[in-house]
Amino acid sequence: MRLIAPILLLLVWYSNIYAQTVSVENFQTEYQVHIAQTARPVKVDGVLDDSTWAFAEKKSDFFMKYPSDIGRPANKTVVQVSYDDKYLYVAFTCFDSGKSIIQSLKRDIGHLDNDGVGIILDPQNSHTNGFFFAVNAMNAQSEDQISLGQQDGLTWSWNNKWFSATKKYNDRWIAEIAIPFKSLRYPAGNNLWGINFIRVDMSHNQYSGWTHVPTNFRIYNMGYTGALIWDKPAPDAGKNMVMIPFITSNIQGDKENHEPAKAAFSAGLDSKIALSSSLNLDLTLNPDFSQVEVDQQVTNLTRFDIFLPEKRSFFLENSDIFGEYGIPGLMTPFYSRRIGLDKDNNPIPIIGGARLSGNLNASTRFGLMNMQTGAKGNYSPENYSAISINKNVLARSVVKVYFLNRENFQNAGQKKQDPLNAWGRNAGTSLEYLSRDGKWSGWYAFHHSFKPGISSQNNYQETGLSFNEKKFTATIDLATLGTNYYTDMGYVQRINNYDALRDTTIRVGFKHLYTNAAYMVYPTGNIIARHTFKAETYSVVNPNNSFNETDLTLSYMAEFNSTSGIKADVLHNDLDLLYAVSFTDAKPLPVTNYKYTQAAVTYTSDTRKLFSYGLTYLGGQFYNGNIHSLIGTITLRSRPHFNLIVQAEYDKLSFPDPYGSSELFLISPKVEYNFNTKVSWTTFLQYNTQANNFNINSRFQYRFKPMSDLYLVYTDNYFTTPFMLNKNRAIVLKVNYWLNL
């Protein structure tokens, strides 16, 4: 706690010395592109022979974004825009001198590591939310929504129909794009939009943008958009109604639970209904997620449950309106994986659901969701409701409020349930401040949980401050979480403590202080792009303010211009263990104080090569024993069709008698073949001795029309001990059809 004041003074001093040289308030004066209506529709074929492109304004002076934001990119990019009553048209001419580097033809691969282009749109010019459309040089599309709190990158989970074509020439490649206005949500009458364009040139490992976005911010940062100036107010977006019926048939058996193989057939419906130009209603009936990729398994050497990301598209779309409260991945009141999955990640049937989301006005964003699950075994039907309102204030700040509710409907005849399981509710509010230039951010949040018979220690509060500049970043975060703070629709990593001696779980609240500071150096040579020196601390105290744990990490990272890099870490942990913990089959480690230090080094090779690899070694003390870990990734490509990625982890834990030792293996090869941008086949194998599971998941996908797919999925699970004893298997055929009404 005593470190906070000097760190704050250091931040203020540093910000005064290293002030931004570009005034972000004047960005849309300095960066403007004018758009005029075309007399006839543009043929999207990558040729640019339409008369529209002979007259449309050209923008070509792109700025470097990565690995440095100094100077201009090696290859020139020219971008043009136009529109008619239905579409926004964008044309890119990307000059190069060689073959484009395309890692995959898979849809929603994103904008990283592939030669490609992208458009960032902010139709409301709010500098907080928007859209990102990207296409690589071989026409693999990706699209997503952008939100203010998107710190962990894009998920590419938002789906909509748009059109693109690319064509390769000797000294350039062309991308031609048509985005339907009805796919966007914006108020009528606005003749100024926020916009930016990006170019990825992998032969030089350069990311560039039309506006000069500082290298310490993401390329899609909404605070650094230029101005798209319309010759007249943008056309009315119109109402967009989409129906997506689907059918599935499957054969599955569960030997582990003595259930014979049986065939089943089901059908369902998803729909997207535009209630206004800025408000959308999503409905799902009997949803099926069999086509979703399986979770990537990890070795868990912590004392707590791990966080697995959501992958189901219905919950990912517009998820930021509900999921960006608290600290996502650590403690958050809303975690959509709680809906339709049990604690072992087995599916619980979802009968249906609805989500209403969009903008009530230019400064207010709204989300309302309701999901109903069915019964399965001992699981009773449940209803999940969520409402969230975001109000933009100041230049780029937001005030948020939310309410969550879970109701359990116990079936007649079931054993009387735990009263705490009958229902659970959460409510809270937060203020998230972000300066106009994005350099300063601060936050305060208050969360409250409601449970039968509980009226104390049921709050969660958090406050923090962050500074982000090109050469220096720092963050301070303080949080207090009560022992009785329940999140029936959320996730809190440290609240549940497993006692290995008594085989039970005990809830213990905590208070934490997290700090980090990083200093970056940008050499002028051609070898290293950036040096990063970083220090992190994470300290935890118990509810009575007694000491629990402190982690200190010192790290150095060098990023090379070739995309390769090296990182070294030193980690020190000081822990007063609350409950016995076990990492082996022997006697659990006793409750006492542990101090241990580890070191790790990581090297990643040039990812642009057909063969690339990454290797991490970690070794040192671990509680009262020792640990040696080796983690590796090997990638073999035959661009752009074939990818073989093999990930492996070996952990050796050695403790003094009588606490035993353990060796853990996790091997995960993944084979992907993209026949073209419409047809792909992916097989993912995972051999995990810690989970005693060997999983096979193989998926064939055929996009027979835009946003309409056929999936054939085979999944199989075996024990690793005894080896290859089958647990369960299934084969699923799913067909969905995207129908615009």
Q: Are 253 and 728 in contact (CB under 8 A)?
A: yes
- Check whether residue 348 and residue 469 sit in a common domain: yes
Residue 336 in any domain: the answer is yes
Task: Choose the final residue of a domain: 447, 467, 493.
Answer: 493
pLDDT of residue 136: 95
- Check whether residue 79 and residue 187 sit in a common domain: yes
**472 or 145, higher pLDDT:** 472
- CATH code of the domain in which 210 resides: 2.60.40.1190
- Check whether residue 226 and residue 309 sit in a common domain: no
pLDDT of residue 411: 65
Query: What is the pLDDT confidence band of residue 412, given thresholds at 50, 70 and 90?
Result: low
3-state secondary structure of 150: coil
Task: Choose the final residue of a domain: 214, 230, 246.
Answer: 230
* Backbone φ, ψ for residue 471 (5° rounding): -105, -10
- Check whether residue 224 and residue 344 sit in a common domain: no
- Check whether residue 39 and residue 178 sit in a common domain: yes
Q: What Cα–Cα distance (Å) separates residue 695 from each residue in 174, 365, 727?
A: 42, 41, 10
- Check whether residue 321 and residue 466 sit in a common domain: yes
**Cα distance between the two ends of the chain:** 59
Q: How many domains does the chain have?
A: 2
Tokens of 117: 């282009």
Q: What does the pLDDT look like over 35-65, one tens digit per residue? A: 999 989 999 999 999 999 999 999 999 999 9
3-state secondary structure of 634: strand
Mean pLDDT of the chain: 91
pLDDT of residue 14: 43
Return d(Cα 63, Cα 688) in angstroms, integer.
Answer: 46
Residue 106 in any domain: the answer is yes
Q: What does the pLDDT look like over 241-288, one tens digit per residue? A: 899 999 999 999 888 878 888 999 999 999 999 887 778 899 999 998
Residue 672 in any domain: the answer is no
Residue 138 in any domain: the answer is yes
- Check whether residue 310 and residue 193 sit in a common domain: no
- Check whether residue 82 and residue 167 sit in a common domain: yes
Residue 444 in any domain: the answer is yes
* Backbone φ, ψ for residue 425 (5° rounding): -135, 150
Residue 366 has pLDDT above 50, yes or no: yes
Residue 371 in any domain: the answer is yes
Return d(Cα 90, Cα 175) in angstroms, integer.
Answer: 8
* Backbone φ, ψ for residue 423 (5° rounding): -160, 160
Q: What does the pLDDT look like over 321-363, one tens digit per residue? A: 998 899 988 999 999 999 988 777 778 899 999 999 988 887 8
Task: Choose the final residue of a domain: 197, 230, 263.
Answer: 230
- Check whether residue 136 and residue 222 sit in a common domain: yes
Residue 473 in any domain: the answer is yes
pLDDT of residue 21: 44
Residue 7 has pLDDT above 70, yes or no: no
* Backbone φ, ψ for residue 16 (5° rounding): -70, -35
- Check whether residue 360 and residue 453 sit in a common domain: yes
pLDDT of residue 413: 53
Q: In 147-258, which ranges are E strands? A: 163-168, 172-180, 192-201, 206-209, 226-230, 241-254
Boundaries of domain holding 432: 305-493
Q: Are 382 and 312 in contact (CB under 8 A)?
A: no
Q: What Cα–Cα distance (Å) separates residue 156 from each residue in 131, 441, 540, 559, 699?
A: 11, 25, 35, 26, 19
Residue 465 in any domain: the answer is yes
Q: What does the pLDDT look like over 596-643, one tens digit per residue? A: 999 999 999 999 999 999 999 999 999 999 999 999 999 999 989 999
Tokens of 209: 């943008």
Predicted structure pTM score: 0.89
- Check whether residue 36 and residue 166 sit in a common domain: yes
- Check whether residue 320 and residue 220 sit in a common domain: no
